[in-house]
Amino acid sequence: MMANTDMIYLDWNNSFNILRKAHKASLFVLIIGPKGTGKTSLVRKFTSDLHKELHSVNFSLRTRESHLVGSKTMNQGEISFVEGILIKSMKNGGILYLDELNAAEADVLLRLDEALDDRRQIILKEAEGQVIKASQDWFVIATINPLSHAGTKELPPQILSRFPVRIRLDYPPKDIEMQIVKNHVSVTTLEERELERAFKLANGLREAASLEELYYSPSLRESIAFAKLIREGVTAKEAAEVIYANVYEQWGEVEYRKVMDMITSIFAS
Amino acid sequence: MSVDYKQRYVMRNDVLINIGTFLARRWSGKPNTIVTLKDGAIPFVNIQNFTISLPSLNYYLGTEFQKYRQWRAALWYESMRIAHSTKVLSYDLAFGFILNTLESKRIEILGLGEWEGMENEVIFNEGISWLSRPLLNALYGKQKIIEAFSQYLLTGYIKGELFGGELERVHNAVDFANAVVKDALYNNRSTDWIEQQVPQIIKLLQINPLITIPLIAPRSRIGLSLSQSDLMKQVERIVKTKNKEKDGQIVKSIVDGAQLLKEFESLARESKRSESKGYASLEEFGLSAPDSLAVDERAIYDNDLITRLKAAVRYWKSGWIEMHDERGDDLDTDAVLESQPKPFFTDFKLSVKTKIALLLDHSSSIEDEEIEYKKATIALCESLKFLGVSFAVYAFSTKERKVKCWIIKRPEEKWSTINARNLAQIKASGGTPLAEIYNLLLPVMKMFRPDILITLTDGEPADYGAVRSAVTSYKMMGIRMVGIGLGKNVDSAVNIGQNLKGLEFEKTLAVSRLQDIPRKVLSLLQI
């Protein structure tokens, strides 16, 4: 997939510079941060600026080795090997984006490890031991969510060592969050004031989640969604309820009411 | 929505502390803030250690819902002090009382700038607390002057009458105080700067700064019954003073507090739920519930230990662990074996559905290391919560020469700081009457039916024979009995472990380092 060169990304913590230098030095990069902090947007923008092809894999417990490497299929009586995304990207070059790598199962990581070591090659047991060597401009960027997130596991040290450059991407400060939202939605001064309140709410919820007082941490996507709803004429309090509060109902009524109380305290009736 | 309807609800203190702690942390912006309850005490905050002390709901006037609203407003004010003040002095002396009153006004204005939605609650609180304010005519001398100053500064009017020189003194002092607050807000001045202005106010009021104030804090109870129509009139008056455009509908909406009613109902339902699930009944079985809510549990929280422990069991959360095998039937050995000595793996499901009951010995033998012991058990409980394990915690000690079995955490409760507070207030004392405790717990265990009952003890029960018999009867119920011996050094741990072996436990473990307790217990979950 060729990334969209027109996309806007606010590089508020100077990640591009590190990414560029790591790319130049052929050092694979690991981006660490909670969900919804713009990790994927950063990679897409970086790839589009380089005019490279982006190969993405989104890992989950169900991602199997065959998705990555490929598998044999029968076509009109002929058995052939269909390459997975890892092999395609190694052959074609470009950027391989391994999203939420720490959600992957151990067998998947083991295969990946083989391709990521200094030899940059993989032996295809699925295709008669064929050796695939990566193209010179093959580059890998992976992201991981903090371990507190559901379904995440610690990456084994040997996989971590394949990504010597590590960028931390946390939730941005309020003024940056405002700029990011404004890049997606144009807001009036009045709406901007409501947005500031929404950020205050979101930051409170993020802090509570980091202390395990709540089980969910709102992302930048929620901030953008909030701006879009108030743009559509939904009142700030109502928008806050549907975007920020309702999700907590799944952990019990008291959890939901705690968040609703924050909304009641922040937004005037 | 009638007043009677709201009156039916009763709020439990632990539920109150749970939401109070959450809100105080968010409002103050200080994530380590704690809330304690002290019956009859005025709301107070220790800014240095982020501790808010509030009275229980009964301190306030009105229906249960109105009491909750006042309690919540008091919590907000104290949280705002943490956020914006650097000092809170005692209300007992005139100097401190005046400084705190000035700060109340300043932090209210600053707070409402950030928490706009609190405006109606602040008005309601002012209205209802006004009804319990003393009538100035009933006060005399310096007390009257100080109370008049507080009333006039905070609300803009006084309750009762002041004459001649007294009125002028209060007027002048309030004018000066208002100028001080305005200056502080405009120039972003601190509490210390405001404190420097207090002598001038004292001079204007012509009082001694060290005069004792038998009056309680601003907006507190004097013991009058509450008339709902008086409340409505008072709120109307405040609304008019603050904003003349607001109409009668707004007054009714402020008095009704519909925006918080659902929250209150939900908390009251939660209170009822924990009660009906055995709070009272466990006590009927002879178990005791720790009842102090003015306990700081932070002393027994060892965050490093908790983090280390959680990191150690983190992979359990996914439900799977990688087990390396010598042989397998899937991977290409030629490709992988050279670099990996044990390349094969199978996924092995961990059992974290085990139901656990923990019994903690708090006899005098652990007195020397009580804090470390509590830290280790807190870390264990935090890890069990993290893993989603169903567990209950009990402790035993001797209080006033009576053996007590304390309920630290009921099986149906979610582990929270309230449970940590329960543990924090158990003082280690007395002997180890294990058999007696097992007999007390027996009906409770029959209800909970844990898979494992883990007893942490010094291993020296008062009656070996009776303990053996009690352990056997538990085992016959299908409960796996595990004894963990706590020794001060390796030798004593080994001896205690030997003692426990003679008590018919199915499994006995011994620890000489208290930090090892959580890992020992968690290792039992893998079985």
Q: Where are the alpha helices (DSSP H) in B275-363?
A: 280-284, 303-313, 333-336
Q: Taking CB atoms and an 8 Å limit, are B262 and A260 in contact across chains? A: yes
Q: With contacts defined as CB-CB under 8 Å, which chain B residues touch A261?
A: 19, 23, 260, 263
The CATH code for residues B356-524 is 3.40.50.410
Q: Taking CB atoms and an 8 Å limit, are A150 and B317 in contact across chains? A: yes
Q: Taking CB atoms and an 8 Å limit, are A254 and B260 in contact across chains? A: no
CA distance A212 to chain B (A): 9
Q: Taking CB atoms and an 8 Å limit, are B260 and A266 in contact across chains? A: no
Does A8 fall in a domain? no
Q: Which of residues 61-100 of A touch B (CB under 8 A)?
A: 61
Of B31, B117, B318, the CB nearest to A207: B31
DSSP code per residue over B11-36: --HHHHHHHHHHHHHHHHS-TT-EEE
Taking the C-alpha atoms of residue A221 and residue A35, their distance in angstroms, rounded to an integer, is: 9
CA distance B118 to chain A (A): 5
Residue type, A205: L
Taking the C-alpha atoms of residue B106 and residue B182, their distance in angstroms, rounded to an integer, is: 8
Q: What is the pLDDT of residue A89?
A: 92
Q: What is the pLDDT of residue B214?
A: 63
The reply to whether A244 and A194 lie within a common domain is yes
Q: Taking CB atoms and an 8 Å limit, are B19 and A261 in contact across chains? A: yes
Q: What is the pLDDT of residue B215?
A: 52
CA distance B426 to chain A (A): 25
Q: What is the pLDDT of residue B73?
A: 96
Q: Tell whether the model's pLDDT for residue A70 goes beyond 90.
A: no
- Locate tokens 């409002």: which residue? B27
The reply to whether A21 and A154 lie within a common domain is yes
Q: Taking CB atoms and an 8 Å limit, are B318 and A153 in contact across chains? A: yes
Taking the C-alpha atoms of residue B96 and residue B103, their distance in angstroms, rounded to an integer, is: 10
Taking the C-alpha atoms of residue A87 and residue B392, their distance in angstroms, rounded to an integer, is: 52
Mean pLDDT by 10 residues, chain B (527 residues): 52 85 94 85 89 88 90 96 93 89 95 94 90 80 86 87 84 94 94 94 86 56 65 86 71 90 90 56 62 73 74 59 58 57 49 79 83 86 83 87 84 83 86 86 84 84 84 87 82 80 83 79 68
Cα-Cα-Cα-Cα dihedral sign, residues B434, B437, B439, B444: negative
Of B22, B117, B260, the CB nearest to A213: B22
Number of folded domains that form chain A: 2
- Answer left, alpha or beta for residue B10, where phi above 0 means left and psi between -120 and 50 means alpha: beta
Q: Taking CB atoms and an 8 Å limit, are B262 and A257 in contact across chains? A: yes
The reply to whether A55 and A136 lie within a common domain is yes
Cα-Cα-Cα-Cα dihedral sign, residues A237, A238, A243, A248: positive
Q: CB-based contact (8 Å) between B332 and chain A? A: yes
The reply to whether A23 and A92 lie within a common domain is yes
The domain of A188 spans 174-266
Q: What is the pLDDT of residue A238?
A: 95
Q: Taking CB atoms and an 8 Å limit, are B336 and A207 in contact across chains? A: no
- What is the 8-class DSSP label of residue B58? G
Taking the C-alpha atoms of residue B502 and residue B483, their distance in angstroms, rounded to an integer, is: 11
Taking the C-alpha atoms of residue A182 and residue A172, their distance in angstroms, rounded to an integer, is: 14
Does A127 fall in a domain? yes
The reply to whether A164 and A199 lie within a common domain is no
Q: What is the pLDDT of residue B10?
A: 72
Does A43 fall in a domain? yes
Above 0.90 for ipTM, yes or no?
no
Does A158 fall in a domain? yes
CA distance B259 to chain A (A): 7
Q: With contacts defined as CB-CB under 8 Å, which chain B residues touch A211?
A: 25, 31
Q: Taking CB atoms and an 8 Å limit, are B318 and A263 in contact across chains? A: no
The reply to whether A113 and A235 lie within a common domain is no
Q: Taking CB atoms and an 8 Å limit, are A154 and B315 in contact across chains? A: yes
Q: CB-based contact (8 Å) between B23 and chain A? A: yes
B289: which residues sit within 8 A by CB, 6+ positions away? B279, B282, B283, B406, B407, B422
pTM: 0.76
Domain spans of chain B, in order of start: 3-269, 356-524
Listed residues A168, A192, A214: the one ending a domain: A168
B6: which residues sit within 8 A by CB, 6+ positions away? B63, B64, B65, B66, B261, B264
Q: CB-based contact (8 Å) between B157 and chain A? A: no
- Answer left, alpha or beta for residue B278, where phi above 0 means left and psi between -120 and 50 means alpha: left
Does A65 fall in a domain? yes
Tokens read off for A82: 């269909």
Q: CB-based contact (8 Å) between A107 and chain B? A: yes
Q: CB-based contact (8 Å) between A236 and chain B? A: no
Tokens read off for A34: 């909670």
Q: CB-based contact (8 Å) between B267 and chain A? A: yes
